[in-house]
């Protein structure tokens, strides 16, 4: 039986290395005897891509969660080289069979969206009273991959989840060993998420840049999903002037500025798509670069930085054998990121 080997200039280190595949693990020492098959021979291998904000399983809040749609979406991710996803909230909890399917990307789920009254599409998540939030947050984190997702605000002109309540929920989840993602699109919602100690801000629209140093110090990541917002930007600029239009444009332009400022302040900025079809994280990495992040940092936000943040190593001895390889350096040729030459998931060649 042939031993599968990988050789190339590994990113982000840009060092030429050779690995062999030991089941679903990477090994750097001498390969066992027998024939060796180079499944990657040259080029640029990097840790499997990551989408940290995707909602596979349904394409709208009106559609029921469907196992066949879930598998279709996850396969779309895999075919694009996305081998690890975080699902910050879904209509239903992630089925147990997902983790056991060797053909699918690894999944870090966050249970059902947690929505207090008036702060989400009715019935799309887990609707709870405000005083139920701390206990419900612990329940969802415990029933998933350790994450829960709180809808921290909703309408642009209505109050966000109160700071004291959100702080209590975050503290309860942290005490249980979990992590909290917070949806925030208003200045109050973003402020409360940061002050409450959330682990990630989803969107962060209207985020006060004065809070970036605090985010960096406490380890709060920013997941702006710029591509999803950017897809609608022209339509918003074309609308008749109104308070809502002005608020959206101010928030959008602030998001673009904050991405670069957040990176420079030491905040972990990550790539998430929040859109369909799945498997478009390369476009999000391009938006991060367009917003001012260095090319390597924007690429890392969709690969090694995101994997490290989710608790998985890069291409090192004993790491999961999840990698994508490119004929050209995707940091220097961003268009290449959407077209991997080789995809290896759990030690098996997927493409």
Which option is the CATH number for 48-309: 3.40.630.30, 3.40.50.300, 3.20.20.140, 3.30.2130.30? 3.20.20.140
Q: 3-46+313-349 is classed in which CATH architecture?
A: Roll (2.30)
- What's the distance, CA 306 to chain centroid? 7
* Parallel, antiparallel or unpaired: strands 126-127 and 113-115: parallel
Q: Where are the beta strands (DSSP E) in 110-267?
A: 113-115, 126-127, 147-151, 179-184, 200-203, 221-223
Q: Do 172 and 150 meet the contact criterion of CB atoms below 8 Å apart?
A: no
Angle at which helix 243-265 crosses helix 226-238, to 10 degrees, equals: 150
- Average pLDDT (127-137) is 97
Cα 61 from Cα 82, distance rounded (Å): 23
The answer, yes or no, to whether residue 78 has pLDDT greater than 80, is yes
Q: Do 78 and 104 meet the contact criterion of CB atoms below 8 Å apart?
A: yes
**Phi, psi for 225 (deg, rounded to 5):** 45, 55
Total-model pTM: 0.96
Each domain of the chain, given as residue ranges in start order, spans: 3-46+313-349, 48-309
Cα 320 from Cα 293, distance rounded (Å): 28
- Average pLDDT (16-26) is 95
How many other CB atoms sit within 10 Å of the CB of residue 311? 9
The answer, yes or no, to whether residue 34 has pLDDT greater than 80, is no
State residue 1's pLDDT score.
61
Task: State the chain's mean pLDDT as an integer.
Answer: 95
State residue 60's pLDDT score.
78
State residue 269's pLDDT score.
98
12 torsion bin: left (phi>0), alpha (psi -120 to 50), beta (else): alpha
Helix boundaries (H) for 4-90: 67-79
- List the one residue out of 191, 200, 124, 123 whose CA is nearest residue 161: 191
The half-sphere exposure of 169 on its side-chain side, counting CA atoms within 13 A, is 36
């Amino acid at each position: 039986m042939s031993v599968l080997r990988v050789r190339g200039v590994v990113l982000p280190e840009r060092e030429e290395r050779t690995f062999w595949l030991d089941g679903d693990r990477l090994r750097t020492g001498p390969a066992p005897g027998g024939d060796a098959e180079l499944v990657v021979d040259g080029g640029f291998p990097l840790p499997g891509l990551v989408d940290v904000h995707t909602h596979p399983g349904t394409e709208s809040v009106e559609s029921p969660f469907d196992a066949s749609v879930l598998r279709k979406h996850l396969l779309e991710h895999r075919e694009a080289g996305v081998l690890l996803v975080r699902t910050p909230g879904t209509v239903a909890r992630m089925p147990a069979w997902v983790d056991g399917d060797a053909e699918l990307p690894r999944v870090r789920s966050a249970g059902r969206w947690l929505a207090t009254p008036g702060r989400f599409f009715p019935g799309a998540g887990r609707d709870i009273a405000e005083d139920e939030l701390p206990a419900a947050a612990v329940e969802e984190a415990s029933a998933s991959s350790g994450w829960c997702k709180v809808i921290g605000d909703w309408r642009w002109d209505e109050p966000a989840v109160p700071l004291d309540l959100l702080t209590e929920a975050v503290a309860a989840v942290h005490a249980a060993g979990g992590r909290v993602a917070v949806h925030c699109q208003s200045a109050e919602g973003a402020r409360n998420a940061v002050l409450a100690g959330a682990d990630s801000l989803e969107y962060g629209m209207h985020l006060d840049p004065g809070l970036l140093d605090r985010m960096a110090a406490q380890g709060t990541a920013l997941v702006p999903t710029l591509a999803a917002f950017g897809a609608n930007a022209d339509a918003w600029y074309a609308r008749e002037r109104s308070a809502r239009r002005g608020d959206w444009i101010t928030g959008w332009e602030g998001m673009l500025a904050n991405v670069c400022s957040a990176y420079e302040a030491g905040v972990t900025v990550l790539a998430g798509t929040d859109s369909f079809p799945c498997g478009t994280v390369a476009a999000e990495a391009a938006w991060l670069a367009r917003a001012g992040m260095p090319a390597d940092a924007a690429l890392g936000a969709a690969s090694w930085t995101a994997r490290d943040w989710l608790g998985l190593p890069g291409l090192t001895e004993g790491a999961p054998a999840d990698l994508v390889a490119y004929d050209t350096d995707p940091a220097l040729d961003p268009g290449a990121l959407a077209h991997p030459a080789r995809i290896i998931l759990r030690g098996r060649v997927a493409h």
